[in-house]
Structure 1
Amino acid sequence: MSTTESTLSPAPSGLPALEARLRQDLAWLDLPAKPWVPPRQFDGAPVLDVAIIGGGMAGLAASATLKHLGIQARIFDRAPAGFEGPWATTARMETLRSPKQLTGPALGLPALTFRAWYEAQFGTAAWDALDKIPRLQWMDYLRWYRQVLDLDVANEHTVDTVVPRADGLVELRMTTPAGPLRVMARRVVLATGRDGLGGALLPAFAQDLPRHLWAHSSDPMDYRVLRGKRVGVVGAGASAMDSAATALEAGAASVDLLIRRAEIPRINKSKGSGNPGLTHGHYGLPDQWKWRLRHYINSEQVPPPRGSTLRVSRHDNARFHVGCPIERIEVHSDVRSDVSGDTLHVHTAKGLFELDFLLLSTGFRVDFGARPEFSVIAPQIRLWRDRFQPPAGQDDQELSDSPDLGPVFEFQEKTPGACPGLSRVHCFCYPAALSHGTISGDIPAISDGARRLGQGIAALLYQEDVETHFAALQAYAEPELYGDEWTPAPPPAQPGR
């Protein structure tokens, strides 16, 4: 083997060696910065600089950025440790759809990338052979990310209420294993994921269906209950394919995909729009261009990954029905001798389907009012529909419901002065996409978003305490010269003497 080949294909070095390299990189970069935010107390208890709600990828990236900037941040997540986000719970894809080489939440640190983590354990040859990142392996990487950066995460902490205050603090009331807890923070970041500011988007026909006959693709569910059943899947996106495949692999008798569109989308327009110019330039675009870009991507829709679709179509008992919108559904008592219970008679443009269970892969909605923890702030948040009228033909419910955010992802008041402190709550999740672009939830630009958020919060914290910082500047007295570094010269000889 040549020297070049040896350099390109090293043996796995193991995580300890990678972690040592990461520590060295951080030391060379002088990270984390020393704490500099003046400490505060409320009722004798410390006030957090920043509280982050959600410990998934976005919350971890935000926490790491703030820590590197010398800002105290604590994450609160309702899940048990190691199960934050959807990856090991409700996500059902085999692999991520993102290209494996994307650096994700690495924040510009090569030793913090998934690739470095993977190659340290399995080697370069294994990386070269890898097609896409396995979903559960991505979760393992995020667990390592949290551990190696020593991020402050409080698990099994459910935030019940978010209350901005006029005194410069935000109050969080939460339920914990130790009982009720009140936390005060100067800033709060909502890193609550795809559905964290609303919930599942349910079509009208689902409203009156018995709950035991359907589930949304984001629901926690043991798909083994579908064994032997005739299953319908509504939708044709990634979650539809993942749900259909999981049902088939669990032993469903059949799966019918009921697809409203005449054709399944084939081009991922969102992928085609990704470049540093848009990442850094979206926020500064005129409103009309922001809306036009996001509406176009929404209307074109993102196709399901090829691998996910093949995972379904390889089953002989899977059927794809395009141009098949649902018109109405009736619940009937089953008359088959081998089955007892109710069945669904699903009337569509393509005819009648008799099904035992329906999986709705119909996406998510932005609806702050649907989340009890946001009941105080929901009526006060300015949404895009409150100030922007889309051009004819560009109506878009998701965009209309999106929050109109400031430059640091902060909420803005619908009625100025009605909710003092609302701007201390920052929206770092998918609904920020219309205001800031897709930098707060998706893998490709999550580091850029975290840095924008962290640097913006650092600036705000400094500005609020500028008098304190100036007083500290005046009191600063560490000498760099001691007066013994030179000898004063004698006066010059005077002319004529």
Structure 2
Amino acid sequence: MSYPSPEKDGLPGLEARLQEDLTRLDLPGKDWVQPRLVDGERLLDVAIIGGGMAGLTAAIALRNLGVRACNFDRAPAGFEGPWATTARMETLRSPKQLTGPALGLPSLTFRAWFEAQYGRQEWDALDKIPRLQWMDYLRWYRKVMNVDVRNEHHVRHVHLHPDNYLELTLQAPDGQKVVGARRLILATGRDGLGGPAYPAFADKVPAHLRAHSSDFFDYNTLAGKRVGVIGAGASAMDSAATALEAGAHSVDMIIRRNEIPRINKGKGSGSPGLVHGYAGLSDDWKWRIRHYINVQQVPPPKGSTLRVASHHNARFNVGCPVLDIEVREDVIYLTTPKGTFVLDFLIFATGFKIDWHLRPEYAELAPLVRTWGQRYQPQPGQEDAELAACPDLGAGFEFQPRDGVDAPGLAHIHCFSYPAVASHGTVSGDIPAISDGASAIARAIAGSLYQEDVAAHYAQLEAYAEPELDGDEWTAAGPPLPVEAQ
């Protein structure tokens, strides 16, 4: 018998091998969830907002357990997540060998996909994964795993229905619709419960003279302009490099710190122990670990920094906190302790924030959800606005109500985006542990669905009547012989 060979048959061979793997593992799991009907329509077992890496991985992890999911994403097909839209790095930061969303399937890894097309020698020569090639891999992942993603579906409102299910109001290409689901996963990325963060002085700059590094923005419009970039992280470097490559007259990086961070503390702490042990740590340890990483900050990748430094018209201005900004006749005058910068455009690479007001679709949920700020009081000097704003999630990534709030349906909504970091660590968006996080949330949802319908499952157990034996496999013995004859 011959088996499919990716080495000989390219992607078709890999896809055939993947199907063999799934068959051997008896995947996907059989559908066992009790159908629940509302007005004659079956509720979705799970709705997932987001069709990017996290949403796809969660959908497959659920299907492997026999739970049906449907993803809704506002982007056109093939442009989910940041990779082919707002991300501007040349390559990923993550090491190429990480298995990412493969969920333990060797044939589903980026490496398998890459080698099937380019061979082992090219894999050995590859340093980092090109960003757009990663997006191509995710497109393939979605296709071969047949994930049900509804593109150009924008969630306008999430409603906790009093009959213990969720209603999603969606704007779709064919108009507005309402979809019911028993569980909901928010797989909405880095800004999943908010949006771009700006310093207070940003309000002094007119909208046409500024952008956030996460904006959909045409950097070609910066040709010939004097550009400033606020920040020194990965997005700051990538934005600066993109502006320079688009022909900016100059780029000044305005960096508050006296030195750019050099050590990636998060990378140094990574291990299976942290991935699987973080959620069970005490509040004190969770806060201590995450706060330390936040304070130390993650340095920009070496390649991104060199990409900027290769331009003679790029300047790294450290020790330059912004003291004041004035705009006169569309020219920005940015004052720092080291002098005043004269700029034509300003890019804020200042990260994201959790802010429910920026997510009107969750307006009904915002006053119900308990946060870490309401759960935990840090020691003096350990205050952390980002951690305090994170939702206080349960063991299955579910939202929990504030003290005194009666909202039982809130536990049917699971946060699988960056704000889960305070409760569960970095398992809900970053490549290294995305499969671990998806598997954990899938197990939690499968268990909760069974518990909710335990009476029906018990009735099914009682009604089960498929015989293992027909009754004619043996002959009943007669009375035993007398004792003295034995």
Alignment partner, residue 397 of structure 2: 409
Give a deviation string over 1:460-494, Cα, whole Å, max 9, x none. Answer: 00000000000000000111111121222333344
Alignment partner of 1:458 is 2:446:
yes
Alignment partner, residue 131 of structure 1: 127
How far does residue 417 in structure 1 lie from its aligned partner after superposition?
4.1
SS in 2 for 1:386: helix
- Name which of 323, 326, 351 aligns with 1:363: 351
SS in 2 for 1:196: coil
The number of residues matched between the two structures is: 481
Q: What is the distance in 1 between the residues matched to 2:218 and 2:101? A: 30
Distance 1:490 1:246, change over 3 A: same
- Name which of 268, 271, 274 aligns with 2:270: 274
Q: What is the distance in 1 between the residues matched to 2:482 and 2:408? A: 71
Alignment partner, residue 294 of structure 2: 298
Distance 1:20 1:328, change over 3 A: same
How far does residue 13 in structure 1 lie from its aligned partner after superposition?
3.8
Alignment of 1:44-193 (within 5 A): 44-193=40-189
Name the amino acid aligned to 1:15. L
Q: What is the distance in 2 between the residues matched to 1:370 and 1:223? A: 25
Give a deviation string over 1:392-413, Cα, whole Å, max 9, x none. Answer: 1111110010000000000000
Name the amino acid aligned to 1:213. L
Q: What is the distance in 2 between the residues matched to 1:124 and 1:48? A: 42
Distance 1:22 1:493, change over 3 A: same
Alignment partner, residue 350 of structure 1: 338
Moved more, 321-330 or 415-424: 415-424
Name the amino acid aligned to 1:258. I
Give a deviation string over 1:415-458, Cα, whole Å, max 9, x none. Answer: 34433311110000100001000000100000000000000100
Give a deviation string over 1:109-159, Cα, whole Å, max 9, x none. Answer: 111100000001000000000000000000000001111011111000000
Distance 1:426 1:492, change over 3 A: same
Alignment partner, residue 436 of structure 2: 448
TM-score, normalised with respect to structure 2: 0.97
Alignment partner, residue 3 of structure 2: none
Q: What is the distance in 2 between the residues matched to 1:330 and 1:114? A: 48
Q: What is the distance in 1 between the residues matched to 2:483 and 2:126? A: 86
Q: What is the distance in 1 between the residues matched to 2:13 and 2:404? A: 53
Aligned partners of 1:164 and 1:424 also within 8 Å: no
Identity value in percent? 65
Q: What is the distance in 1 between the residues matched to 2:458 and 2:337? A: 70
Q: What is the distance in 2 between the residues matched to 1:140 and 1:475? A: 48
SS in 2 for 1:380: coil
Q: What is the distance in 2 between the residues matched to 1:270 and 1:210? A: 36
Aligned partners of 2:7 and 2:119 also within 8 Å: yes
Aligned partners of 2:62 and 2:68 also within 8 Å: yes
Name the amino acid aligned to 1:77. D
Aligned partners of 1:244 and 1:312 also within 8 Å: yes
Name the amino acid aligned to 1:316. H
Aligned partners of 1:172 and 1:182 also within 8 Å: yes
Name the amino acid aligned to 2:402. K
Name the amino acid aligned to 1:280. H
TM-score, normalised with respect to structure 1: 0.95
Moved more, 419-428 or 75-84: 419-428
Alignment partner of 1:373 is 2:369:
no
Distance 1:177 1:464, change over 3 A: same
SS in 1 for 2:280: coil
SS in 1 for 2:316: strand
How far does residue 222 in structure 1 lie from its aligned partner after superposition?
0.7
Alignment partner of 1:396 is 2:392:
no
SS in 2 for 1:239: helix
Alignment partner of 1:256 is 2:252:
yes
Q: What is the distance in 2 between the residues matched to 1:484 and 1:493? A: 24
SS in 1 for 2:367: helix
SS in 2 for 1:421: helix
Name the amino acid aligned to 1:384. W
Aligned partners of 1:343 and 1:356 also within 8 Å: yes
Name the amino acid aligned to 2:463. A
Aligned partners of 1:93 and 1:135 also within 8 Å: yes
SS in 2 for 1:283: helix
Name the amino acid aligned to 2:312. D
Alignment partner, residue 458 of structure 2: 470
How far does residue 495 in structure 1 lie from its aligned partner after superposition?
6.0
Q: What is the distance in 2 between the residues matched to 1:78 and 1:234? A: 29
Alignment partner, residue 435 of structure 1: 423
Alignment partner of 1:32 is 2:28:
yes
Name the amino acid aligned to 2:250. S
Q: CA RMSD in A?
A: 1.3
Distance 1:403 1:150, change over 3 A: same
Q: What is the distance in 2 between the residues matched to 1:35 and 1:495? A: 56
How far does residue 236 in structure 1 lie from its aligned partner after superposition?
0.3
SS in 2 for 1:282: helix
Q: What is the distance in 1 between the residues matched to 2:103 and 2:282? A: 28
Aligned partners of 2:156 and 2:171 also within 8 Å: yes
Alignment partner of 1:23 is 2:34:
no
Aligned partners of 2:168 and 2:180 also within 8 Å: yes
Distance 1:496 1:438, change over 3 A: closer
Aligned partners of 1:164 and 1:420 also within 8 Å: no
How far does residue 46 in structure 1 lie from its aligned partner after superposition?
1.5
SS in 1 for 2:472: coil
Distance 1:495 1:216, change over 3 A: closer
Moved more, 484-493 or 308-317: 484-493
Aligned partners of 2:204 and 2:326 also within 8 Å: no
Q: What is the distance in 2 between the residues matched to 1:13 and 1:326? A: 58
Aligned partners of 1:233 and 1:244 also within 8 Å: yes
How far does residue 44 in structure 1 lie from its aligned partner after superposition?
1.9
Aligned partners of 1:380 and 1:415 also within 8 Å: no
Q: What is the distance in 1 between the residues matched to 2:299 and 2:461? A: 56
Q: What is the distance in 1 between the residues matched to 2:457 and 2:351? A: 47
